[in-house]
A = this chain, B = another copy of it.
Amino acid sequence: MSAEILTIGDELLRGEIVDSNKSFLSEKLLSIEVETRFHASVNDDPGDMRDAFLRAAERSPIVLVSGGLGPTRDDLTVEVLAATFGRELTQHEPSLRKIEAMFTRLGREMTPSNAKQALVPMGAEVLPNPVGTAPGCMLDVGRAVFFCMPGVPRELYRMMEEQVLPRVAVRLGGGRGVMRAALLRTFGVGESNLEDMLKDVGREPGVVLGFRTSFPDNFLRPVARAATLEEAEAKLARACAAIAEKLGPLVYTRGEETMEAVVGHMLAERGLTIATAESCTGGLIGARITAVPGSSRYYRGGVVAYANEAKRDLLGVPEALLREHGAVSGPVACAMAEGARSRLGADFALATTGISGPDGGTPEKPVGLVWIALASKDGVEAEQMVFPFDRERHRAITAQTALDWVRRALLGLPRVVPRYVRGKS
């Protein structure tokens, strides 16, 4: 059983607001294994609304409608839905009394446009709205069932969770097969390489492998469908195992955790601490580490050593090293990491120094060049990389590579230099 989501409102089609209701509703439907096949939006125009309702009823057994339940003249959802499917409108007395009571409480007079919010199509089931005036409704038109909800996110969220989802679940009944999906986050290899590496994965019937770029990561979403939950889970497990076999530690997590959260939890579990010494990333690694709640357990702090004097005075990088090798060099990266580790008393310290551009490159040290160093009780190592991206992405991939290096060190794996091609378009 698949669903369609229809959102209504001029403000959407003028681009004034980003329509997050659709992704919320799709995600909720997926949580009970209903796939959304179509998203559509139309203006508050009776003709376009009617066409959209008819089209949805033709192709989708479940139709979620959001918006157009307000009191103003451009709120037409219920009226047009009723007319489209040949229903009269009827007053829902409990809703009317609720609206009246609200106006009495506010000491204001109710207008006819407010009373309009208590109208529903004949035969529809009213869905209560505990946080707003407009009730929702469920209307079965034979080929499809329509669920009308308010467009205000907090009202929509509550009605979807409490009223709509349980009713959709009931209609699903049994015996239609089930779906299971996973999200695997990978770092270190570009999307087309991933596709090549995984060309034999997801070829089992009922298994689909989706790819998505979220620079500098690439996400994999294997989805398995089968007649029973056990089969779907077994299929999904086989797909995930096949991916794990091909990609190994390129997959850094299964689920929603960011790289900094994965690394943070590994540090916390092991009772280890980290510090940072950032030049080209300018504080970005620190900002990412501390974006994770509870990071004070394992993050000691860091130095943003942008000027050479900061590298020397706050991290103890010898002046001679800076003079001889330049700030963007392996020896300086190593000295930065060691300085941060000893001065901040941490088990690990990461250092970055590079040329993020757009200016500042030389023939020997081009824009894109970066040195990353990691110091630990076992010593310090540095690696040179060239990331051919703009400033923002250069810094992002440098930060991610540095964090991934810590993850690999904690897992006892060798570090890798990410292999990248431009993302998917």
Chain A residues in the interface with B (C-beta under 8 A):
7, 9-20, 22-30, 35-45, 48, 69-75, 102-103, 105-106, 108, 111, 113-114, 117, 129, 131-134, 150-155, 181, 183, 191-193, 195-196, 210-213, 221, 276, 278, 280-287, 289-291, 293-296, 299-307, 309-310, 313-314, 343-345, 357-360, 388, 390-392, 395, 419-425
Contacts and interface: CB of A to CB of B under 8 A. Distances in A.
A314 B346 CA distance: 14
A105 B293 contact: no
Contacts of A117: 425
A293 B195 contact: no
- Top-9 shortest CB links A-B: A282-B290, A283-B286, A70-B424, A150-B425, A15-B26, A283-B283, A15-B27, A134-B425, A301-B310
Contact of A293 (B26, B313, B391): B391
> Chain A binding site: helix, strand, loop or mixed by DSSP?
mixed
How many of these chains are in the complex?
A: 2
Contact of A41 (B39, B285, B291, B307): B39
Given A39-B12, A40-B40, A422 B133 contact: yes
A23 B28 contact: no
A185 to B, nearest CB: 12
B15 A18 contact: no
Nearest to A28: B15
Nearest to A183: B16
B36 A39 contact: no
Nearest to A13: B36
A260 to B, nearest CB: 11
